[in-house]
A and B are shown apart, each in its own frame.
Chain A
Amino acid sequence: MSRTAEKQIELSELAIVDADSHVSQGAPELVPYIPDRYSGARKMIEISEHPQREVYSYGRASPPFANDSGNVRSQGDFSNLRADTPEAKRDVMERFDIERTVLTPGQNVHLAGVNNDDAAAALAVAYNDWIRETFLDADDSFYGTLSIAPQKPQEAAEEIERVADERDIVGVQFPVAGLTPPAGHRQYLPIYEAAAKHDLPIVMHGGNSNSQGVFPVQRKWSETFLEDHAFTFPAGIMWQLITVVMRGIPERFPDLDFVLQEAGIEWLPWMMWRLDDHYLQVSFDAPALDKQPSEYIEEQFYVTTQPLGHTDNTRHMAMALELAGGADTVMFASDHPHPDFDTPEELFENLRSRFEPEDIRRMMGETAADVFGL
């Protein structure tokens, strides 16, 4: 531990990378980009008066972020806040001195909840053309994860092939909120193969907006958005992590990286210890593994920080970040424009109480630049 770091580095010196920053995006933006081979799905989406509910299957336990008196509730969807143009995104990057941003989809994060498989595939393909035309081509500091529909793994692999070589495409956004079967299932092998072939990390974002009926994020008996949101984001990602690791996806694809977004970081060491304990006691159940689960996680998994969680004890937070893997694993993220966003300073002030400047630089940006190949 070193407290001298506080004197050795300032936030303004850092090349900050935001590893999870959303664009505002629903079905209406994408419809014009849906190709003719999905004309049936396109028509279905076009005639929907409420595509957020009727296509993406959104639902909530209660109104989201009820303390926010502004746009959140009036627009009905907090993913439609102030991230609808490159200028809006650039403004927030300048305000917080963020150098480069990895853009995350809006409603396409919840593509796994689309009931019609063709509609899901159409929205994925459309997103990849829309994001390039509207955001990625507009600013060299923007990068993006491409969208896929896990309902159609082979088509998803073909979509990865189609856009993987674009300079600004730096990852595969694998929608896992409400995903059935879970991400470790063999049916998704074409997706992992294509991502590995193109050296793109698999990116999984916490979520629950459309997963009200699906283990482990079903919300029946949640009386409020708060109860639901606090539990389901990390719980959903934990389930995906467990199935992906224990069924040997990292073992099959040892050069493939995984990025977990918006699921918290403090549980990760606990999960590694828990999985190692289970593995050593019940290794019959994990014949695909050649080493302990924590070793795969340490070598191939990364986590983004927002929402960091709140404690007044910055040293405890810094210890948790170190246990989660520190600079080898942790990457700053803002989650702009959502109401639970974190500023760079929120992470930086916690890091300063424990880490050396080099590790702080990595967690604030360099590790993300390496993982995403920026």
Chain B
Amino acid sequence: MVERHAVAGTGAFEDEGDRVFVEINELEVAVFRIDGEYHALVNYCPHQGAPLCEGELTGESTVDEDWNWTYDETERNVRCPWHGWVFDVTTGESTDAERYRMPTYDVEVEDDTVYVLR
């Protein structure tokens, strides 16, 4: 059964990319502010067990038809601090391989308090 767990006040997320870690039933989760929205991602990398959400936030490069590299500055991906695997914080999906996807959780805000549903 999903329960609601208080994480912090909205004041802890003043800037884009701010994050707060919380332990919920022995599982560490990080709540990020990305593009004005709150997203919760498990703090675990499937590669070798690193604390994934302690990594830097990053955008993403693409190549267009004319072989030009462009960089999307929207920093919604977290780069694992150990080996650099990259996951989209908003979906939990690896940006590079479909088979890797980490759990995400719904987030609610009520009376200036941020809650994770798990």
Contact = CB atoms under 8 A, between A and B. Distances in A.
A248 B97 contact: no
A279 B61 contact: no
A162 interface: no
Interface string A277-304: 0011111100111011000000000000
B63 A288 contact: yes
Interface in A82-113: none
Contacts of A287: 60-63, 69
A186 B66 CA distance: 9
B14 interface: no
Contacts of A186: 67
Contacts of B86: 283
Contact of A291 (B61, B63, B67, B97): B97
Interface string B58-98: 00111100010100000000000001111000000011111
A282 B67 contact: no
Contact of A280 (B67, B69, B96): B96
Nearest to A186: B67
Contacts of B4: none
Given A280-B85, A281-B83, A282-B84, A289 B61 contact: no
B98 A291 contact: yes
Interface string A67-81: 000000000000000
A273 to B, nearest CB: 13
B118 interface: no
Contacts of A288: 63
Nearest to B69: A287
Contacts of A281: 83-85
Contacts of A276: 97
B47 A280 contact: yes
B97 to A, nearest CB: 5
Interface string B29-72: 00000000000000000010000000000001111000101000
Interface in A183-242: 186
A281 B69 CA distance: 19
Contacts, number: 33
A287 B63 CA distance: 6
B56 to A, nearest CB: 12
A247 to B, nearest CB: 8
B97 A280 contact: yes
Given A186-B67, A248-B63, A288-B63, A283 B95 contact: yes
A292 B94 CA distance: 11
Interface string B9-38: 000000000000000000000000000000
Nearest to B67: A186
Contacts of A292: 96-97
Interface string A162-183: 0000000000000000000000
B51 to A, nearest CB: 17
Which of B63, B83, B94 has the most chain A CB within a 10 Å cutoff? Answer: B63
Interface string A249-292: 00000000000000000000000000010011111100111011
Contacts of A291: 96-98
A281 B83 CA distance: 6
Interface in A301-358: none
Contacts of B69: 287
Which of B67, B85, B96 has the most chain A CB within a 10 Å cutoff? Answer: B96
A251 B107 CA distance: 36
A292 B95 CA distance: 11
Nearest to A285: B61
A136 B86 CA distance: 52
Question: Which 10 A-B pairs give the minimum distances between C-beta atoms?
Answer: A287-B61, A283-B96, A288-B63, A281-B84, A186-B67, A287-B63, A292-B97, A281-B83, A287-B62, A280-B85
Given A276-B97, A281-B83, A287-B63, 16 more contacts: A186-B67, A248-B63, A279-B97, A280-B47, A280-B83, A280-B84, A280-B96, A280-B97, A281-B84, A282-B84, A283-B86, A284-B61, A287-B60, A287-B62, A288-B63, A291-B97
